[in-house]
Amino acid sequence: MNDTLHTIDGRHVLRIEHPLKHPPAKVWRALTEAPHLLAWFPAAMDIDLRVGGEIRFTMGDDVTRGVVTDLEPQRVFAYTWDGDHLRWELHADPGGSLLVLLHTFDDRAGAASFASGWHVCLDALEAALAERPFVEPDDTWAAHEAFVAAFGLAEGRVEATPDGWVVRFERQFRRPIDRVWPALLAGADASLAVGDPPPPAATATVAPAGELTELAPSSVLEYRWHHDGRPAGRVRWELSPGPGGARLILTHTGPHALADLRPAALAAWRAQIEHLALATR
């Protein structure tokens, strides 16, 4: 895997290299001409091909706009798209061309979805250049999870609060909310309600579970956790739509007096989230 993810000036940059067995002139047409783009790019593009020229992106009923920022024929084509920046570079290669994509964005947790999605697009580009049919993969779950691991996206972080600390994870899944939420509630009774114990899939031994304090179907599950029989903080699971599936935000709060639990909490919740991801496979 040659793909890399870096942070530059506060934004995240995904770099993908993709060799193609075709000359730069042919690949350039596929990058810049609307009829060719339809074969592989995720949106229809109407391009005013000049620096400063407008691009209109159409995906179903959704229309967004961007601007051409760099243009060097048969070498560089770069533009904005809905707050992101895409830079395509073409390099001559003994076997044809080396296509390099630099995708700059703010949503670090979405990087694995972006990477796995672009690889499907680039495979479609390769098929279009070779004039052969492209069969889209039935599932990109494994590819997505490989990028999660490679980019370190499964890791959580600890933040300080006035009352103590919070362990926080933000994790993108490759499955929709209606697949992730039932996995989170696995083993729970259909009548689960505030005041009940949380389902096992939502708990970890590092935070002995008390009673549910909030439950919003397919959205929020929160409960108190106890230490020495007394409430010590809260564990909160939140699901919302993200690129390619459900976005999870997990937070675990604790007091200053229990700061020593933070490393164990990071490890425990990382493992629990991985189990949840596997349960949706």
pLDDT tens, position by position, 15-42: 999 999 999 999 999 999 999 999 999 9
**Residue 190: pLDDT band by 50, 70, 90 thresholds?**
confident
pLDDT digits (tens, 9 = 90+) for 197-223: 999 999 999 999 999 999 999 999 999
Of all residues in the chain, the percent with pLDDT exceeding 70 is 100
- Looking at the predicted structure, is the pLDDT value of residue 94 above 90? no
pLDDT over 90 at 95, yes or no: no
The predicted pLDDT at position 229 comes to 92
Contact predicate 223/234, CB 8 Å: yes
pLDDT of res. 1: 62
Equal fold, 4-150 vs 157-279? yes
Dihedral, CA atoms, 2, 125, 136, 175, nearest 10 degrees?
A: 50
Comparison of pLDDT for 190 and 37, the residue scoring more: 37
Kindly indicate whether the domain formed by 157-279 is annotated with CATH number 3.30.530.20.
yes
**CATH 3.10.20.90 matches 4-150:** no
Residue 90 to residue 28: CA distance in whole angstroms = 8
Residues contacting 145, CB < 8 A, separation 6+: 112, 174, 277
The mean predicted confidence, pLDDT, of the chain is 96
The percentage of the chain sitting over the pLDDT mark of 90, rounded to a whole number, equals: 94
DSSP assignment of the chain? ---EEEEETTEEEEEEEEEESS-HHHHHHHHH-HHHHTTTSSSEEEE--STT-EEEEEETTEEEEEEEEEEETTTEEEEEETTEEEEEEEEEETTEEEEEEEEEES-GGGHHHHHHHHHHHHHHHHHHHTT------S--HHHHHHHHHHTTTT--EEEEETTEEEEEEEEE-SS-HHHHHHHHTTT--TT--TTSPPPGGG--TTS-EEEEEEEETTTEEEEEEEETTEEEEEEEEEEEEETTEEEEEEEEEEEGGGGGGHHHHHHHHHHHHHHHHHHT-
pTM score: 0.93
More confident residue, 155 or 139: 155
Q: Give the start-to-end residue ranges of the domains of the chain.
A: 4-150, 157-279
pLDDT band at 139 (very low <50, low <70, confident <90, very high): confident
